[in-house]
Amino acid sequence: MRIGHIAVVFCLFCLLRVNAQETDSIRTFHLNGVDISESYGQFVRRRSALEVNVAGHDFLREHFTGNLVQTLEHIPGVHSMDIGSGFSKPVIRGMGFNRISVTENGIKQEGQQWGADHGLETDVFDVECVVVRKGPASLLYGSDAMGGAIEIMRLPPPSENQIFGEALLSGRSVNGAIAESLMLGFKKDAWHVKARYSGQDFGDYRIPADTVVYLTQLLPIYGRRLKNTAGFERDASLYAGYRKGAYRSHYAVSNVYQKSGFFAGAHGIPDASRLQDDGNPRNAELPFSTVNHLKASVQQQYTAGNLSVRLDAGYQNNHREEWSLFHTHYGTQPAPEHDPDKELVFRLQTYSLSARAQWTPSPVWAHTVGWDVQHQRNRIAGYSFLLPEYRRFSAGLLWLSEWHPSGNLSVSGGIRYDEGRMNIAAYADAYLATYLAERGYSDETATAYRWRSYPVRRRFGNLSGSLGVVWNPAGEHRLKANIGRSFRLPGANELASNGVHHGTFRHEQGDPSLPSERGWQLDVSYACEQDGLSVFVSPFVSWFGNYIYLKPSGKWSVLPHAGQVYRYTGAKALFAGGEIAAGVDFLRCFSYNVTAEYVYTRNLDERVALSFSPPASMRHVAGWKGKHAQVEAEWQAIAAQRRTAKNEDPTAGANLFHLRTTVRILPEKINAEVTLSLHNLLNKKYYNHLSFYRKVEIPEPGRNFQILLKIPFKQNIK
């Protein structure tokens, strides 16, 4: 039924007498008959002292995977932490979770990003441009940006009045996924409006293995499908922009709903009986998760002479639920009367406000002052417990100055002060206290464990800043250096948790006395582009005096099925490494590019690597590009990762081969595009060291054929 609806939509578009909508990613200025063009990516890289990569419209289409973070993996230094059901969270230079800030329409995305099994809630079809900033970004974004930032941005509106839109259809073979997206919009004088609806349906995904091993237990994988990894996604968004003279405003509202199953062997204790084939590879049964992310934002900007003022306001409601057949590890707990299988509920509301004023007193000086404030409230429900209820408030004030004494030299520096407050509610588990008392534990032990969350009231103050220089000694050379101090407020789980986290199979304890994470980071880069040749080198080093991580305590928990107790602890830590890239264009339509990346992590107190350290990797891409088609062949070499944290398994390396091609259909009339890709061509069995499923020895998906069909259209209006 769903496929029939898609076919009707595409037939209607093919019958329209419309011209292709060409998205222009080049900024063009007209001065007395002379055209001066510069891509947005070149502009950002030339002005920013931090290393910046811009993934424009063409990049996102050519590397489309149906998953935004996996698409961005083609940028050196960016990795995807997968959770098995097509959802991922970003990792930049070895840092992830709450150490990476993701913004959209000027508002920081806020969900349950602290969890390894929680993905990024965004509509991949609604992403038009992405700016990736590597390195300390706390100066601009505050807490959660100490490892970098990902900005999801809008492309500028069409220059002419018109009705426009696009229809997209995508399919993947590895899990039988079918996705569609329809966008309609218009540009009329000062107004620019777009509406989009997207949907995805996917089944259990295939792996190149018949069995997996968990704690020496051999578990069968029937039909080489990972049972209960199916799900669906439904997204809707509305965006409106207004431009009149010196005034600009933007309004956006979006809703993302996702439902995905949990592989039974990765949620709770694996059991072969739960892995029996149910004959339906497209159903998501217990255990599963749902998440609904509602976001609304308003942006106002006014420019008067050399002064520009901008205001961003946003509201978000992230509602996540995890469902699992009611179970209790101690028999004194009865099943709830309503929704007895609703295990965990998180409702996170976020209000945010940001103000910026930029003053340009002369052609060589620019000053920016900014103020950010955010308030969060997290509420919980369900028969189990993982994260406490809390309120968090943070506010920051920043100053940034830029000096451009010449066209080839730019110096920038700034300072920021933030204050944060955490108010965490206590949570006592009376059933657990009864269970421990019945088994003869002392009152002291029973009391210590019954408090699953400690009451915490903390206040934090943090100072951050950066100083950087960009030097272009010649048009084809670019040198950058930036030193920055960044910070991150500890999360509620790091301050107050005390119990079993079934997603990680361990007992986790917080420390209410933890201070903020603070660190110093140095980034240097060199780039050269000349006559079809390009070279890029970007080393970095970061040192943290209080890097928060889970430390094995060597003490066994008294809770059933809990194992060893892990405590959130601060330690001195070191990150170092870099990215290298080189490319050559030859014979007018051929190209070859190679990129390599390496991250070294070190817990200086324990003298071991940090967990979730990405392995070194290299990509070789050979391509041909014609007028209406292009083809790329890629060899991805992933090194083994043997530098692991305590109780973390090493991961073997792999060599993978991929193919991609894009063809324009009827470019003079419809300008439709078809992008075909073949991932893991040889169906190689390999493991992702960053995957949520790595700990249960589940390999990555096997050979995957993907198609993306895009039909744009436009019609000029008066």
Delineate the domains of the chain, giving CATH numbers in brackets.
Answer: 2-273+295-716 (2.40.170.20)
Largest CA distance in the chain: 89
Structure tokens at 693: 């499923």
Beta strands in 557-695 (DSSP E): 564-586, 590-603, 617-625, 629-638, 654-665, 672-679
Sign, CA torsion 6/7/12/16: positive
Half-sphere exposure of 148 (CA within 13 A, CB side): 26
Burial of 224 (0-12, 13-18, 19+ CB in 10 A): middle
- As a dihedral over the C-alpha atoms of residue 472, residue 473, residue 478, residue 481, rounded to 10 degrees, the angle is -80
Confidence category of residue 465, pLDDT binned at 50, 70, 90: very high
How far is residue 551's CA from residue 569's CA, in Å, rounded to a whole number? 6
How far is residue 69's CA from residue 383's CA, in Å, rounded to a whole number? 32
Q: What is the CA radius of gyration of the chain?
A: 26
Q: What is the DSSP letter of 122?
A: -
Q: What is the mean pLDDT of residues 156-168?
A: 93
Q: Which of 96-110, 257-271, 498-512 has the highest mean pLDDT?
A: 96-110
Beta strands in 96-244 (DSSP E): 101-104, 107-108, 129-134, 148-153, 162-172, 177-188, 191-202, 211-214, 217-220, 231-244
Confidence category of residue 52, pLDDT binned at 50, 70, 90: confident
Each residue's pLDDT tens digit, 337-346: 899 999 999 9
Whether the pLDDT of residue 456 is over 90: the answer is: yes
How far is residue 255's CA from residue 292's CA, in Å, rounded to a whole number? 7
- Tokens 């100066």 sit on residue: 139
Structure tokens at 150: 């990902």
Q: Apex CA 184: angle with CA 180 and CA 188, to 5°?
A: 165
Q: What is the mean pLDDT of residues 231-248?
A: 95
Each residue's pLDDT tens digit, 174-211: 999 999 999 999 999 999 999 999 999 999 989 998 88
> Residue 444 is inside which H or E element, if any?
helix 443-450
Q: Apex CA 284: angle with CA 179 and CA 67, to 5°?
A: 35
Confidence category of residue 66, pLDDT binned at 50, 70, 90: confident
How far is residue 466's CA from residue 142's CA, in Å, rounded to a whole number? 12
Structure tokens at 129: 């441009």
**Do you find a cis peptide bond into 270, omega within 30 degrees of 0?**
no
Q: Which residues pair with 19 in a beta bridge?
A: 714
- Predicted local distance difference test score (pLDDT) of residue 79: 92
Burial of 147 (0-12, 13-18, 19+ CB in 10 A): buried
How far is residue 115's CA from residue 25's CA, in Å, rounded to a whole number? 35
Confidence category of residue 30, pLDDT binned at 50, 70, 90: very low
Confidence category of residue 6, pLDDT binned at 50, 70, 90: very low
Q: What is the mean pLDDT of residues 468-472?
A: 92
Q: What is the mean pLDDT of residues 4-30?
A: 38
* Contact predicate 507/499, CB 8 Å: yes
Each residue's pLDDT tens digit, 290-349: 999 999 999 999 999 999 999 999 999 999 999 988 887 777 788 898 999 999 999 999
Mean of per-residue pLDDT scores for the chain: 87
Structure tokens at 387: 């994260």
Confidence category of residue 15, pLDDT binned at 50, 70, 90: very low
How far is residue 152's CA from residue 128's CA, in Å, rounded to a whole number? 7
- Predicted local distance difference test score (pLDDT) of residue 226: 87
How far is residue 101's CA from residue 109's CA, in Å, rounded to a whole number? 7
- Predicted local distance difference test score (pLDDT) of residue 265: 64
Structure tokens at 36: 């001066």
* Contact predicate 487/495, CB 8 Å: no
Each residue's pLDDT tens digit, 355-405: 999 999 999 999 999 999 999 999 999 988 888 899 999 999 999 999 999
- Predicted local distance difference test score (pLDDT) of residue 267: 65
Whether the pLDDT of residue 595 is over 80: the answer is: yes
Confidence category of residue 215, pLDDT binned at 50, 70, 90: low
Confidence category of residue 271, pLDDT binned at 50, 70, 90: low
- Write the secondary structure of 384-418 as one string of H (helix), E (strand) and C (coil): CCCCCCEEEEEEEEEEEEEEEEECCEEEEEEEEEE
Each residue's pLDDT tens digit, 88-130: 889 999 998 889 999 998 899 998 887 766 778 999 999 999 9
* Contact predicate 484/466, CB 8 Å: yes
Q: What is the DSSP string of 354-380?
A: EEEEEEEEETTEEEEEEEEEEEEEEEE
Can you say how many angstroms the Cα of residue 423 is from the centroid of all Cα atoms in its chain?
A: 27
Confidence category of residue 84, pLDDT binned at 50, 70, 90: low
pTM (2 d.p.): 0.90
Each residue's pLDDT tens digit, 474-502: 778 999 999 999 999 999 989 998 877 76
Strand 34-39 and strand 101-104: the pairing is unpaired
How far is residue 325's CA from residue 272's CA, in Å, rounded to a whole number? 16
Q: Assign residue 94 a region: left if phi > 0, alpha if psi is -120 to 50, beta otherwise? A: left
Phi then psi for 224, rounded to 5 degrees?
Answer: 55, 25
- Tokens 């309120």 sit on residue: 391
